[in-house]
Amino acid sequence: MTTVATPVASLRPRLTGALALPGEPLYAELTAGFNVAITATPAAVVEARDAQDVAEAVRFAAATGRSVAVQATGHGLAGTLDGAILVHTGRLDECVVHPDGWARVGAGVRWQQVLDAAALHGLAPLCGSAPGVGVVGYTTGGGLGPVARTFGWASDRVRAIEIVTGDGTPRRVTATDEPDLFWGVRGGKGALGIVTALEFDLVPLSTVYAGALYFAGADAATVVHRWREWSSSLPVEATTSLALLQLPPMPGVPEPLAGTFTVAVRFAWTGPAESGAAVLAPMRAAATPLIDAVQTIPYAAIGMVHADPTDPMPVIEETDLLSALPAEAVDALLAVAGPQARSPQVMVELRQLGGALAAEPRHPSALCHRDAAYALILIGVPVPPVAEAIVPHAAAVRQALAPWATGGALPNLSSGSGAERIARSYDPATLARLVSLAERYDPANVLRAGQVPVRDAA
């Protein structure tokens, strides 16, 4: 597509918000992402103040042959966005919680804001493991959170979407109004437009019995095998994950975990604390924990379960979905990523799926792979001396678990783009329908720079 020689600065008078160009202080501020291994270099950044600003940016991109991308917190940045118009939605900060059980939030809102507002009414949003993540990007990619086996995917709780589609048209989308878009935006990430606001249901939950057990690397084989056996029969009130950790000695990392190999067993129980403790007892007895942080907590403090980092850092991520986790798979994982394997990854994680995640939703959506049993997530920090080893080692881990891999991936897990990565996120029928919708709602293909440019994978 040929770019028309129209100065980007000519967009400025059409905006209520700001237009930031390369070299300006605001440009540097708005292009900063959570993953500092990626430097975004768009042609300009629109700091949107309302949906009309978003529409103006999209129309300008279409008229000048440019692409458009969106960012709120920078957690989903997957490429450099060279030459694109980046729409920054951080100023769309409306956050209203209704006491009768639902919320309306703008595209710039992060989960912790919703957590705190909902807690005043004894309610809980289905947020992710990191409450600093933006609501919209997380939810449109499915949304797999710490209590997901009880309550399911965050995207299944959406009741309305306000979006500017790729043709520059602001739309309000529900199951009955624009049903095709309602299907495609929930799970389709940014393939069809830029979401400016979401409305979604909350759940009645003020506290949760949750946290993590941390074990020494010497106990890894015992703990991981026990976790595999124990998790296979958990009721839906339990959501769990396991992580092989090699956390650096830095502020915020507890001394028993810093600079050494440890195993974390995360656990969240939505029933009474007493029954949760009984369910967790076999894991507590697997070995002596270095730290036992499982307790009754306010749901608004759910971020402590995974204790994800909050500061920007360079990361390289990979992911897979598994259909099963037999003992042979655990042995294969430990051989390539256990305490004796000299793994360069900061974290190798398994999240158990199933439960409510496998249930058919009331309103079908583009979210696929609901039948997967586990999600595998690998995170490496590309700094010396391990930087060059991270990618080949991640490939070796995936190869070791290949006999149990489904070939699929969830849109939110790892920030990859590209045709191969996008094709893994959707089954062929879903991808074909998304492509058809993209051609209808984004005729100029302005969304091709986004995290899910589905036409590249068709």
pLDDT-based confidence at residue 73 (cuts at 50, 70, 90): confident
Q: What is the pLDDT of residue 72?
A: 84
pLDDT for res 180 = 98
Q: Which of these CATH numbers, 3.90.1640.30, 3.30.1340.30, 3.30.43.10, 3.40.50.720, describes 8-88?
A: 3.30.43.10
pLDDT of residue 310: 79
pLDDT score of 380 more than 70: yes
Amino acid identity of residue 137, one-letter, is G
Report pLDDT for 451: 57
Q: Which of 76-85, 107-116, 442-451 has the lowest mean pLDDT?
A: 76-85
Alpha carbons 430 and 346: distance in angstroms, whole number: 34
- 10 Å CB burial of residue 74 (0-12, 13-18, 19+) is buried
Hey, where are the domains in the chain?
Answer: 8-88, 95-204+419-444, 207-404
Q: Which of 216-220, 432-436, 451-455 has the lowest mean pLDDT?
A: 451-455
Rounded to 5 degrees, what are φ and ψ at 410?
-90, 140
Q: Tell me the residue length of the chain.
A: 458
Residue 418 pLDDT greater than 90, yes or no? no
Q: Which two tokens stand for residue 140?
A: 């449109």
Which class in CATH covers the domain with range 95-204+419-444? alpha beta
Structural contact between residues 391 and 122, judged by C-beta atoms closer than 8 angstroms: no
- Residue given tokens 């989903």 in the structure block: 76
Query: What are the tens digits of pLDDT across the range 262-298?
Result: 999 999 999 999 999 999 999 999 999 999 999 999 9
pLDDT at 5: 60
pLDDT grade for 452, boundaries at 50, 70 and 90? low
> Is the bond into 385 cis (omega within 30 degrees of 0)?
yes
The pLDDT score that the predictor gives to residue 238 is 98
What is residue 171's predicted lDDT score, i.e. its pLDDT?
Answer: 98
DSSP string, 239-287: EEEEEEEEE-S-TTS-TTTBTEEEEEEEEEE-S-HHHHHHHHHHHHTTS
207-404 has which fold? Answer: Vanillyl-alcohol Oxidase; Chain A, domain 3 (3.40.462)
Q: How buried is 2 (Cβ within 10 angstroms: 0-12 exposed, 13-18 middle, 19+ buried)?
A: exposed
pLDDT over 80 (residue 417)? no
User: What's the pLDDT tens digit per position in 307-332?
Assistant: 998 787 888 999 999 999 999 999 99
Q: What average pLDDT does range 86-114 have in this prediction? A: 97
Tell me the pTM.
Answer: 0.94
95 against 311, higher pLDDT? 95
The two structure tokens encoding residue 323: 């259909």
- pLDDT higher than 60, residue 1: no
Q: How large is the average pLDDT for residues 205-222?
A: 98
Return the structure tokens found at 94. Answer: 């409306």
Find the DSSP H helices in 36-159.
51-64, 111-119, 135-140, 148-151
Cα distance between residue 118 and residue 300, in whole Å: 8
| pLDDT for the residue numbered 413 | 78
243 closest CA partner among 258, 218, 223 = 223
